[in-house]
Amino acid sequence: MRKTKAAIFHEFGGPDVIRVEEITVPDPGPGQVRIAVQAAAMNHLDLWARRGLPGVMLPHVGGSDIAGTVESVGPDVTAWKSGDRVVVDPTLACGHCEWCLKGETPLCEQFRILGEHVDGGFAGLVLAPARNLMRVPEAFDMVRAAASPLAFLTAWRGLVSRARLRAGEIVLITGASGGVATAAIRIARHLGARVFAITTTENVERVRGLGAHEVFDRHEAGHRKVLFELTQRRGVDVVFDSVGAATWHENVRALARGGRLVVYGATTGPSAATDLRFVFWKQIEILGTTMSNPEEFQAAMRLVFEGRLEPVIDTVWPLDRARDAHDRLEKGAQFGKIVLVP
């Protein structure tokens, strides 16, 4: 057992429930390592967990995006040793159910997420499965490593595996100032797609700076008409969406014949009506996606380490400012990832 400092909450609520205090982190068991955290990044998942997401046990330490060094290893772990620089795949799976045996860990019957269902990386030390680690190159900045996993793995699976996005196609990315959405812009450009994005007024130029070919202000009337004009009334091949109910009908209408609507969240609500005539007449696909399998995680992170995908970092704060980090993300004041350093 080791004592360490952690950002923890003992009750659900607003940012004010976050406390920085000492906790005990167990020794690693079979198949586990204990990591000395060097950087951990915020996600909206951390806000939902703090507000009382089903499955979150109290007290709770958030933080799904973790980079650090191996501090100690479990009795059967031979692939890793103390001092190894690592980044963590936050997808937790049983490894032996029908879906895991097919390599589809996000569909695992016991699917969990590090930092949601078990304590995460907003601490000096954290436990993680050894099989979830990926080596970080010696020269690579650990803040950039921590800012990358959840956003890039989610966007990679959504665009590459689920949407099958190809060079020359048009993708529309909604909520384009969010972490997964900014990663999606980078990935779509890497794939050779034409990128349209929708964001708030203050972020239009920032999103354009990430590489989006066309950026629409969601507060500006008529942007859907402009979108159709730019595509000669054809529509887009892929919509990559986390907004949900508020834009659902428009997203379905924006698709070209044979288009794919990929959903990875529902920030404005989970229930939305679908005009099925668009679905069968244009033969569109509606696809859900969550997290990634190990191969997708490693494919995305290799491109990050090679410098071909770059995370967007908003602020880097010490762990003592965890409450401020929750507050900043809650208000939507950030652009890119907020990273905490123990």
Residue 244 belongs to domain with CATH number: 3.90.180.10
91, 121: one domain: yes
- Write down the pTM of the prediction: 0.94
Q: Does residue 6 fall inside a structural domain? A: yes
Beta-ladder partners of 112: 92
The pLDDT assigned to 219 comes to: 85
Pair (141, 169) in one structural domain: no
pLDDT at residue 1 in the model: 86
Same domain, 167 and 281: yes
Residues 215, 228: one domain?
A: yes
Shared domain check, 101 and 179: no
Judgement on whether residues 187 and 218 belong to the same structural domain of the protein: yes
User: Does pLDDT of 209 surpass 80?
Assistant: yes
Q: Inform me whether the pLDDT recorded for 269 exceeds 90.
A: no
302 inside domain:
no
Helix (H) or strand (E) holding 314: strand 313-318
Could you give the CA distance from residue 69 to residue 84 in angstroms, rounded to a whole number? 5
Judgement on whether residues 161 and 134 belong to the same structural domain of the protein = no
In a domain, 18, yes or no: yes
- Let me know whether 225 and 327 are in one domain: no
Beta carbons of 203 and 335 less than 8 angstroms apart: yes
Does the structure show a pLDDT above 80 at 34?
A: yes
- Residue 305 in any domain: the answer is no
Query: What is the pLDDT, as a whole number, of residue 167?
Result: 98
Closest CA to 311 of 193, 179, 157: 179
In a domain, 122, yes or no: yes
Q: Residue 342: what pLDDT?
A: 94
- Straight-line distance from the first to the last Cα atom of the chain, in angstroms, rounded to the nearest whole number: 19
Domain shared by 141 and 6, yes or no: yes
Residue type at 6?
A
Per-chain mean pLDDT for the chain: 95
Pair 119, 197 in one domain: no
Strand, helix or coil at 158?
helix
The answer to whether residue 174 scores a pLDDT higher than 90 is yes
| DSSP letter (8 states) at residue 118 | B
Q: Is residue 304 part of a domain?
A: no
Dihedral (Cα; 274, 280, 282, 286), 10-degree rounding: 50
Confidence at residue 260, expressed as pLDDT on a 0 to 100 scale: 98
Do the domain assignments include residue 306? no
User: Residue 178: pLDDT above 90?
Assistant: no
pLDDT digits (tens, 9 = 90+) for 55-112: 999 999 999 999 999 999 999 999 999 999 999 999 999 999 999 999 999 999 999 9
Closest CA to 224 of 254, 180, 185: 254
> Is a pLDDT exceeding 80 seen at residue 221?
no
Q: Are residues 8 and 125 in the same domain?
A: yes
- Beta carbons within 8 Å of 224's beta carbon, 6+ residues apart: 250, 253, 254
Residue 307 inside a domain? The answer is: no
DSSP track, 33-80: EEEEEEEEE--HHHHHHHHT-TTPPSSEE---EEEEEEEEE-TT--S-
The domain of 133 spans 2-147+312-341
Beta bridge partners, 172, equal 196, 239
How does residue 177 score in pLDDT terms, banded at 50, 70 and 90? Answer: confident
Q: Are residues 65 and 14 in the same domain?
A: yes
Confidence at 263, pLDDT banded by 50, 70, 90: very high
Number of domains in the chain: 2
How many of the other CB atoms lie within 10 Å of CB of 279? 15
